[in-house]
Every structure is written in C-alpha cells, then in structure tokens.
Structure 1
Amino acid sequence: MPLGTLERSAPPMFKQGPSALSRLLLYSALALFLMVADARFQITGALRQVVAAVLYPVQWVMLQPVQFIAQGSGYFQSLQTAQDDADAARKQMALMSQRSMQTEQLMQENARLRQLLDLRARLETPAQAAQVLYDTADPYTRRVVVDQGQVAGVELGSPVLDEKGVLGQVTRVHPFVSEVTLLIDRDQAIPVLNLRTGVRGVAYGDPVAGHGGGMELRFMPSSADIQEGDLLTTSGVDGLYPPGLPVAKVVRVERRADSAFARIYCVPIAEVQGARHVMLLKPMTEPLSKLPEPVSPPPGKKVNSK
C-alpha cells in the first residue's frame, strides 16, 4: 500500500486531554475568579509589587529613547525662543520676589497672632522631589507615575504638589515608582476652603470638564456666597493635606431654580497636564501608636469630674 494513503494522525479513540472548548471555559472561569478575588481581597498586591520591581529596568530602558528625543528637541531651540523664555523667567522671578516679601510679612503677623492666642506654631512638613515619568495606560483614570517609591520612603496617601499648587495624591506605591491620582480624576476628592469667605467644601474631580479636565465644588447651596475667581485652598480638616495650599479657582457658577444646590465649576491651579517635577509631602495623619498615652492620676488622688 502506498505511504501517501496512510492516515498520519492518531485515531479519535487514542486522543487524550480535554477539548479546546472545555479548556476555554475553564480558563475563563479561572480568570473571572481571580479578578473578583483580587478586587475583594487584594490577593495579588504582593505579586503586583514584585512584577513592578522586575519590570522597572525594562521600563527605564524603554524610556531612554523618549527622553533622548525630548532632550534633543530642547537642545535645538532657536535663540529667539530661549531669549523669550529668559525674559518670562525674569518677570516671574520679580513677581515671586514681591509675593515672597508679602508672604514673609503675613507670616510674621500670623506668628504674633499665634503667640497672642497661645497656639503652638505649625511644624514644617517633610517633602521630597520626584519626576513624572509617564501617564498610566488606563484611559478611564487620570494618573501619572513618578520615579520615587517605597525605597525612597514614599507613603500611601502622600499629597503631591508642583510649583503652583496641589497636583494630586499618591494612591499606589511600588518599590521604585509610585502612582499619583490627579485632582481631575473622577474618584478624587479634596476638602477645600474659600479664601475670600472662609466657607469649607469638598471639590471633586471632573475629567470631562473642558478639554483637559477640571473640578466641581459639590453640595454647595444656591444661596452660598461664592463668585467666579474665588481661590480655593486646602482646609486641613482631613488631617492629610496641610492647610493653605492652592487647589483651584472658580470659573463658573450656575444657580438653577429647580435645584437646591449650585453647580460650581473650578479649574486646578497646578499643571495637571504638563507637570514634570513635583514634590511629595508626608501625610499629616500620625499613626495611633505614636499618639501620647493619657496620663493616669496618682493612686489615692481623686479626679475632679467638674
């Protein structure tokens, strides 16, 4: 019998293993179970950190051509553009010098008021510098990745600032990098204070406002004294952000008769779309283990309950 007429594959009765459809259903069920378990119990947190640590050298190598091209394009700027940037920098330096003198005078006045009111002086918040590497790949969130992580002492929930104001908050920490959720993310909220009126509120991220995203001051009554141009700063009531940091500016106020609350749209002070260098602050909240223990009265001495 010619060899070409022989069947080269094994007969169906000798085939072993599950079918392709059975394996597809099994792997799909396993993947769904792992996603639900990770969302509820965070079982892959340690694995995610290990993978991030392993992939960090690859990410660093892949970013080098991008940084080289960016540096090359900046090197070949025209002389006129460099002179314009220098003039703008001088003007900004003069303006910052004037504001610094005013701030020093206000700080002295505040120090005298604290002494009169017998308030303790505010402690300076420790901070460290970081550089923005890239935006995250998730199109439904507004997050960036910075080049500082657990090795550098970054803590979860650390406030992030640029040279103009609050940029966001650290929401995920890896060994060498950290993820920062920007103020314009829909899941981000920050307690604010109206610098003109002293009224407190909460500003939420609004990624669809405008072209680059904005913020919305919610749950403010229609009769609230708020105007376009009001500056919103951190109130400090959450125990996380230091008070007095610039957050946003009110750009539009809509008061409707069919609603008890006003629609207040704001724009962040910080450069949420183009920040390159940022500062990571230590969270103000202290662990309960560091709080002083209550002093018990000496034995035999009665405590006056009045």
Structure 2
Amino acid sequence: MPLGTLDRSPPPFFRQGPSALTKLALCSALALLLMVADTRFKLMQPARAALALVLQPVQRLLLAPVDAWETAGGYLRGTQRAMAAEDLARRQLSAQAERLSRAAALQAENDRLRRLLGLQPSLTVPALAAEILFEAPDPFSRRVVIDRGTTQGVAAGSPVINDAGVLGQVTRVYPLSAEVTLLTDKDAAIPLLNARTQMRNAAAGRADGAGMELRFVTASADVQVGDLMTTSGLDGVYPPGLPVARVKAVSRRGDSSFAQVLLAPIAQPDGARHVLVLQPMDRHLAAKQEAEAVAAAEAASAAEAKAALRTAKKEERAAKAAAKASAATGGSP
C-alpha cells in the first residue's frame, strides 16, 4: 500500500482536546459568570433551595446519632443537677424546720415570761401591701411614691418596710398614692436600739444621702462595727424589734467627746419594689384601747342586763309565792 494512502490521524482514544490551560480558563470564566449572575439575578437560588430540600433528610439522618448523644448527655446532666438541687433543698428544709421549732419554742417562752412579769403581749400591727411606683423628682431628697393612699387607709407617719427591714416613713398622703421619706434622707430620723448592748440612740440620714449616722454618741460608748440596730418602739411609730441598719464604721477622735458612727441600712431602697405599710404604733394602741373599752362597756352592759333579768325573775318568783300563800289562806289579810 502506498504511504500516501495511510490515515495518519490518531484514533479516538488518543485524540487530544483543548489544552488544560484552556479548560482552566473556561471553567474559571464560567464560575465567575455564575457567581455574578447568582449575585445579581439570583439564578441559582431555586437550584440551591431544591438541593437543600433534597439533602435535608440525609442531613437529619446523619445528625440523628449526634442529637441522641447530646440528648442523653443533657438528660444525665439534668438528672444530676436535679438530684443535687433536691439534696440541697432537703438540707435547707431541715435547717428551716429546726429554726422554726426553735423560734416557736422561743416565742412560747417569751409569752410565758411576759405573762409571768405581767407585761403586755407582743403587738401585731396591721399591714397593707403596696408597690413603689417611682422616685420623687426632687434631687435634694430621698423619697419614693407608692400606689396606696387615703382611699386604702394609709395615714401620714405610717412606717414602711420590706422583707429586709425598715425603709422609711409616709410623710405625704394623697387619695391614691403616698410619698415615703427614706431613712437615708437628710431630714429623716429614727430611734434605734443596739441589739448587742441594748443601748438606745437616734439615727438620722446623712446630708450626702450615702447612709445614716448615730447622733450624739459619746466616745466611750460601747459601739462596734457590725452591731445590729433595730427599732426601739419608743417613738410610738415604729414597732419594736424591726431591723434597720448595721454599724459600718466607728471613728473616735481625741479632740472630741463624741464618736462618729456610720450606719449602713439593711433594706436597700434601690432594690425594693414591693413594700408593707404598717399602722403607726400610737394609732394601733389607741384603736386597741378603744376596742377594749367598747368590749368592756358591752360586757358591763351585758352583766347589768343579766343582773336585772335575775332580779326580775326573783321578784316574779316572790310575787308568785305571795299569790299562792294568799290563795291558801282564803284571801284574808
């Protein structure tokens, strides 16, 4: 066969296409075109959503072991925390039950001692729940406004407390609201009793509103940092025994016969929201004495009525006896 008649083209298996560089450039241009088109015209969004929809069951299936492991671990950790919380609650409940039993025993002993000494029993002052609405706009005073007023029975001078201790005293009353002057106000004052030494004194708010201080405390007075100050009940306003403040600092100077005693209020007004408005002690005692007087008058009136009834019955029986005796003698004088 002549050489010119031979087919010199390579077979399809060995046939070469475009070069690798050309393919890279073409794929890069296509990828760039698709990215620009997807960014501008959102062309691939339907395809991406369809692919995500198809792959979601597969993803959920692959994540099932991981979710089961995390759920089992969370259940075990939650069980451990619940058991630890239950154990702590049981210990706290036991401690509270012990304190409650001691408090009940102390209360019973206190009542026995009061009866033995002939003292008046402990007073339970009526209280009214209220909520602090806002602080008074006066920047030179420490006052708050509560949502109870004369309509609900709030009177001027009523003590205001929360779960920690004494907050202040009602100074202005309106029909549906009232202003409470806090103990840290510069014009506020309250008589106190040192729970450790039973020493009585008076405290007032500081001018800077940063706390309270005891007034006219001698340099030799037995006052220590950390002493608890409670209400003494001598002013006829605050019930005795309510916690008010703790001694924060004691400063004794040689050139002064008085000591400077700074107090930190126990009840923080900035964190208070719900409070109790107590009836003033003098009004409570007056109402109690009036009620006792009314009860005594009613008891005396009832006793007089019973005595009169007994006298009337005796006279009736005597008249009946005289009538029978007269009938028996034939009516002769």
TM interval, shorter chain, is 0.5 to 0.7
* 1:270 and 2:264 are equivalent in the alignment: no
Partner residue in 2 for 1:247: 244
Partner residue in 1 for 2:117: 117
Partner residue in 1 for 2:147: 147
Offset at 1:230? 0.3
Distance 1:232 1:289 in 2: 27
SS in 2 for 1:265: strand
Structure number with greater CO (CA < 8 Å, separation at least 6) is 1
TM-score normalized with structure 1 length: 0.62
Offset at 1:289? 8.2
Whether the aligned pair in 1 keeps the contact of 2:125 and 2:284 (CA below 8 Å) is: no
Distance 1:191 1:251 in 2: 17
Offset at 1:94? 7.4
* 1:284 and 2:281 are equivalent in the alignment: yes
SS in 2 for 1:285: helix
Inter-CA distance 137–93: structure 2 relative to 1 (3 Å threshold): farther
- Structure in which a larger fraction of residues adopt helix: 2
Partner residue in 2 for 1:301: none
Q: Which residue identity lines up with residue 190 of structure 2 in the other structure?
A: I
Distance 2:178 2:93 in 1: 31
Aligned mate of 2:223, from 209, 221, 226: 226
Q: Which residue identity lines up with residue 223 of structure 1 in the other structure?
A: S
Offset at 1:104? 2.4
Partner residue in 2 for 1:104: 104
SS in 2 for 1:111: helix
Inter-CA distance 270–102: structure 2 relative to 1 (3 Å threshold): farther
Partner residue in 2 for 1:192: 192
Partner residue in 1 for 2:164: 164
Offset at 1:119? 1.3
Whether the aligned pair in 2 keeps the contact of 1:162 and 1:271 (CA below 8 Å) is: no
Offset at 1:286? 3.1
Greater CA drift, 111-120 or 176-185: 111-120
Whether the aligned pair in 2 keeps the contact of 1:160 and 1:169 (CA below 8 Å) is: yes
Offset at 1:224? 0.3
Inter-CA distance 148–98: structure 2 relative to 1 (3 Å threshold): farther
Offset at 1:253? 0.3
Offset at 1:105? 2.5
Distance 1:97 1:156 in 2: 39
Inter-CA distance 98–253: structure 2 relative to 1 (3 Å threshold): farther
Offset at 1:108? 1.5
SS in 1 for 2:113: helix
Partner residue in 1 for 2:57: none
Distance 1:200 1:247 in 2: 13
- How does 1:49-88 map onto structure 2 within 5 Å? none
Distance 1:195 1:124 in 2: 20
Inter-CA distance 139–95: structure 2 relative to 1 (3 Å threshold): farther
TM-score normalized with structure 2 length: 0.57
Inter-CA distance 216–148: structure 2 relative to 1 (3 Å threshold): same
Whether the aligned pair in 1 keeps the contact of 2:159 and 2:169 (CA below 8 Å) is: yes
Offset at 1:271? 1.8
Q: Which residue identity lines up with residue 235 of structure 1 in the other structure?
A: S
Distance 1:277 1:99 in 2: 26
Q: How many residue pairs are counted as aligned between the two chains?
A: 205
Higher CA-based Rg = 2
Distance 1:121 1:287 in 2: 14
In the alignment, structure 1 segments of 5+ residues that lack a partner are: 1-82, 294-306
RMSD: 2.7
